[in-house]
Amino acid sequence: MTLTTRPPAATDGEQPIDEGRTIRLMSAQQVDETEQSVPAAADERMPMRFGDDEIVFELNDVSCYYGTFRAVRDINLQVPKNRITALIGPSGCGKSTLLRSFNRMNDLVDTAHISGSIRYHGVDLYDGAVDPVEVRRRIGMVFQKPNPFPKSIYDNVAFGPRIAGYRDSMDELVEQSLQRAALWDEVKDKLKSPGTALSGGQQQRLCIARAIAVEPDVILMDEPCSSLDPIATLKIEELMRELKLNYTIVIVTHNMQQAARASDYTAFLTMGEDRAGYLVEMAATDELFTRPANRITEDYITGRFG
């Protein structure tokens, strides 16, 4: 079983980026129409169902291990397409670990492994025939600390497409990616200067531009604003709302206001007695923050936790 490969950034002369955008826009509108029905289904919360929404990720009994230590246990949840799904919870509850298992980033840690299944558009990501490199190309990632390459702004964005074999006009793709990351106007005159010379917020938007340059399907964000000031944070959140028209976003955040402001669905994880993180509940964000079904969730979001 292999991933069906979407042509990685166009080998035919067409503009696949715009094509993809219109298709996704349509499905986003369809999703909007069905959104009203979501709260009604919210009583049955584990795992949450999304009516007619297309499901991107489906996790069944996922546990993540580092060696013999179980960091996350028995997660069942689904991530709908063209939505922002937030993972919140106290430090050390395994949010980041879980997120990094979505694109097999944790493969890079020698001792890390998972049990259960993570299905991405129905394909088991941990199937032996799945190529983790292709997985990461389709499921991009933005990290906690901005990590631009110590290269020019241009090369930061162009690296992904270049190794993916993109041979069309790189200048156009770089411009388009930077525009979509809302950074173009600030850097268009200094594309040759190093990405590391930008401010923290700009660096993080550069990392987002780098991630979307390879035309992924999903963007995973691991506390993308934790090292940014409030203004840069708001900019990133604004950007996320625009990006969800084209991408499915899963964001890990420490900041509950951020989850409440920016996400459509929120999953709350916490740590059990065995120090393993588990899913307490997942719901539409408004629902979870106004009428949490679980006492632990209520304690956490009202600040009475631990």
Partner 1 sequence: MAARTEGLSARDAVALRLRGGSPDWAGWLLEAGLLLSLLVAVGILFVLVGDTLVKAFPVLAERPLDFLTSTVSARAPRAGILQAIIGSLTITLIVAALAIPIGIGAAVYLEEYARDSRSSRLIRTNIRNLAGVPAIVYGLLGLAVFSTALGLGSVLLAGGLTLAVLVLPIVVITTSEALTAVPESIREAAYGVGATRWETIRSHVLPYAAPGIFTGTILSLGRAFGETAPLLMVGAIAGTFSFVGAPWEQMFEGYTTLPTLVYHWAGYPQAEFRALGAAAIIVLLGVILVVNATAIILRNRYDRKW
The contact set with partner 1 (CB under 8 A) reads: 8, 103, 105, 108, 110, 133-134, 136-138, 140-141, 143, 145, 147-150, 159-160, 163-164, 196, 207, 210-211, 213-214
Instruction: Residue 56: name the closest of 225, 199, 278, 247 by CA.
Output: 247
Contact between residue 16 and residue 214 where contact means Cβ atoms under 8 Å apart: no
- Pick between residue 89 and residue 160 the one whose CB is nearest to partner 1: 160
Q: What is the dihedral of CA 198, 145, 162, 215, to 10 degrees?
A: -110
- DSSP classification of residue 301: H
What separation in angstroms does the CA of 113 have from each of 14, 65, 134?
A: 40, 5, 19
SS (H, E, C) 133-174: HHHHHHEEEECCCCCCCCCEHHHHHHHHHHHCCCCCCHHHHH
Instruction: Residue 209: name the closest of 148, 259, 165, 168 by CA.
Output: 148
Minimum CB distance to partner 1, residue 238 (Å): 23
- Pick between residue 129 and residue 231 the one whose CB is nearest to partner 1: 129
Minimum CB distance to partner 1, residue 182 (Å): 19
- Tokens for 100? 């990094």
Contact between residue 215 and residue 7 where contact means Cβ atoms under 8 Å apart: no
Minimum CB distance to partner 1, residue 284 (Å): 29
- Pick between residue 73 and residue 138 the one whose CB is nearest to partner 1: 138
Minimum CB distance to partner 1, residue 291 (Å): 36
Minimum CB distance to partner 1, residue 136 (Å): 5
- Pick between residue 110 and residue 189 the one whose CB is nearest to partner 1: 110
- Pick between residue 110 and residue 273 the one whose CB is nearest to partner 1: 110
| Helix, strand, or coil (residue 131) | coil
Minimum CB distance to partner 1, residue 278 (Å): 26
- Pick between residue 136 and residue 235 the one whose CB is nearest to partner 1: 136
